[in-house]
Amino acid sequence: MEFSKDKKTIFSAVQPSGNLTIGNYLGAIKNWQTLQDGGEFNCLYCVADMHSITVRQDPALLRRRTLETMAVYVASGLDPEKNIMFVQSHVPAHAELAWVLNCYTMFGELSRMTQFKDKSAKNEQNINAGLFTYPALMAADILLYGTDLVPVGIDQKQHVELARDIAVRFNQIYGDTFTVPEPYILQTGKKIYSLAEPEKKMSKSDENVNSFIGILDSRDVIIKKFKRAVTDSDTHVCYAEGKNGINNLMTIYSCFTGKTMEEIEREFDGKGYGEFKLAVGEACADALAPLQKQYNCLMSDRSYLEGILSQNADYAAYLARKMLSKVYRKVGFLAKNK
């Protein structure tokens, strides 16, 4: 784990608020691995537990999922020696900078965030202040480390853009402080849709468990869920407008096997949807098997994982503290005598 001034810095995070799906894996985690292997970036990957409590969580479950998410990162091939991987609440500077940034974020800006509008419509009973100021905490995550690029799905782009605006605003008042980050929408990161409603994004918090494939689902479950996947009344396996279900299954198959759409069409020419769905299920189960094995190994000896988390959090805290001190000085907080 080496943080080099000559390299650009990447920061990303996921919330531990549900079982990770193959959507998270194919859309994000698998690409983080490519970034790591390229070796041209400093990479920080965080489990954003503080963001999760903007909606009610079961405490024991949140704790478990936080560790599980980190185990999935590691089992997917993210090397804790090469990347800084940590839990957000282990690094207090995130909360501290978030407070400061709250004072440089406008009510109007936060009101325009589509995620806030969606989530408050869904959680009418609990439209709390944290849900509203969520993007200021996210901006703190990003700005603490001089992040240049933030690989995220398209749904988080608006939040990264707000982090940019906050950075620019702060820099205008106090002089150069923050690196102005950019969203980094990876070309290879495929959007994976729900198996039950293929117009909707595959989501780990979907109530219908048949709509998503969890990274840790067993082989039988995976094959069964693909069998049930919603398709159309046509019978040809081909990628075409209006065939959302089949297009999605082809995307998944292509991601796991490396085959192109043309190759897949040829492979299943004259064969029915049933055969194709079974092949997708098997390819997915085969690809996830080594990851699951590694995951079980990690979870059976937590001390290794806990050691990584503690070491990485210390290093992240050291980096974050430097930025926070600079910010505290700029806004005029009196330094405490050592």
Catalytic residues: 119, 201, 204
Tell me the three state secondary structure of residue 13: strand
The reply on whether position 162 binds ligand TRP by CB under 6 A is: no
The reply on whether position 105 binds ligand TRP by CB under 6 A is: no
Cβ nearer to ligand TRP, comparing 153 with 245: 153
The reply on whether position 48 binds ligand TRP by CB under 6 A is: yes
Nearest partner of 163 among 137, 186, 145, 185, judged by Cα: 137
* 195, 229 contact by CB (below 8 A): yes
Strands 8-14 and 41-47: parallel
Question: Which of 47, 78, 150, 216 touches ligand TRP (CB under 6 A)?
Answer: 150
The reply on whether position 44 binds ligand TRP by CB under 6 A is: no
The reply on whether position 12 binds ligand TRP by CB under 6 A is: yes
DSSP labels for 101-116?
Answer: HHTTS-HHHHHT-HHH
Please list every residue from 15 through 34 that binds ligand TRP, using CB under 6 A: 15
Q: How far apart are CA 70 and CA 85, in angstroms?
A: 8
Cβ nearer to ligand TRP, comparing 156 with 211: 156
**φ and ψ at 211, to 5 degrees?**
-85, -15
The reply on whether position 143 binds ligand TRP by CB under 6 A is: no
Nearest partner of 223 among 232, 210, 236, 233, judged by Cα: 210
**φ and ψ at 73, to 5 degrees?**
-55, -50
Question: Which of 10, 14, 229, 246 touches ligand TRP (CB under 6 A)?
Answer: 14
The reply on whether position 13 binds ligand TRP by CB under 6 A is: yes
Question: Which of 152, 222, 313, 316 touches ligand TRP (CB under 6 A)?
Answer: 152
Interface residues with ligand TRP (CB under 6 A)? 11-15, 48, 51, 138, 141-142, 150, 152, 156
